[in-house]
Structure 1
Amino acid sequence: MTVLDRIKKVSKKRGFSLTQVNDKANLGKNTIYSWKTKEPSINNLKAVADVLNVSVDYLLGKTDDNSTSMKPKQVDITDDDYIMTYQGKPIPPEDMEYIKRILNGGKD
């Protein structure tokens, strides 16, 4: 399995398109798609691994363990630069607004 195949597999499992992963990793336009024919830089690969919450070793095929990293990612719920997920699936925007209202004590 290639690096691109592994990225596709994990992206699909997490409910992301490759374009979303590419954008969240702050890569140039269609960078991930270019990995079909060329090797990714380690910095770009690390950025994608962080977005998908897997190790670079998994993406490189050095391990088959694609479990999330031991270090949990912490972001603010109001940060729109991240796609919040529950059980690996993105939380719809309308549900995120509901969650925010609950966390604010019903005030909004």
Structure 2
Amino acid sequence: MLSMADKIKILIEQKHWSQAELARRAKISPQQISYYIKSQREPSPTSIKKIAKAFNVEAAVFMEDFEDKNDFIDSWNLIYSLPEKHENKQKSVELSDDSVIMTFEGKPIPEEDRELIKRLLRGK
């Protein structure tokens, strides 16, 4: 079973962050993060929430039991939440490109609504 420290290490690795970056994003001291990663201390529920928010995952992933690293990474919570390797790259689409499939909550957006959205985005 993966420990809390293992889960934090895996997420740091997946995000390509340093411990200092996690500390900054979670608003927790670097020393505290170091304690958690070395299993010298267990994070408080408040710290778990802050760490989960920094990683953009549900705090529950830290409470669940996972057999190994792959099981942890493959869980749907993590797959849904982890960005691609180049998370800072902004993706954009051309609004006039009709080949772009626009959906909301998994349902296609009707043409009249797409036109309204386009006008709103253009500020018209």
TM interval, short-chain normalised: 0.5 to 0.7
Deviation of 1:53 after TM superposition, in Å, equals: 1.0
Greater CA radius of gyration, 1 or 2? 2
Deviation of 1:20 after TM superposition, in Å, equals: 0.5
Report what 2:84 is aligned to.
87
Structure 2 gaps, min length 5:
67-71, 93-124
Report what 1:26 is aligned to.
27
Which structure carries more helix by proportion? 2
Matches within 5 A, 1:10-89: 10-35=11-36, 36-62=39-65, 64=72, 65=75, 66-68=78-80, 87-89=84-86
Structure 1 gaps, min length 5:
70-84, 100-108
Separation in 1, partners of 2:22, 2:55: 8
Contact persistence 2:4–2:62 (CA under 8 A): yes
Q: Percent identity?
A: 18
RMSD of aligned alpha carbons: 2.5
Equivalent pairs, count: 79
